Structure 1
Amino acid sequence: MTIEKVGVIGAGQMGNGIAHVCALAGYDVVLQDIDPDSLKKAIDTITYNLTRQVSRGIIKDEDKDKALKRIVPVNDVAAFSDVDLVIEAATEKEEVKRAIFAQLCPVLRADALISSNTSSISITRLAAATDRPEQFIGLHFMNPVPVMKLVELIRGIATDEETFKTAREFTNRLGKTT
Structure 2
Amino acid sequence: MVASLSGTLALVVGLAVLLLPLLATEMSRPRDAMWGAVVLLLGLTLVTSADRLTGSPMLAVLCGGLLIGRLGVEVLQLRWRALTPEEQQRLLSVERWQTSLSELVVSVAKGIAAVSAASGTVLAALKRGGGSKGSSGKRWVRAEDASTSAAAAQPAQPEPAPVVSSFAEIDQLLQAAVSQAG
Normalising by structure 1, we get a TM-score of: 0.24
Structure with more helix by fraction = 2
Structure with more strand by fraction = 1
Higher RCO, 1 vs 2 (CA within 8 Å, ≥6 residues apart): 1
Greater CA radius of gyration, 1 or 2?
Answer: 2
Normalising by structure 2, we get a TM-score of: 0.24
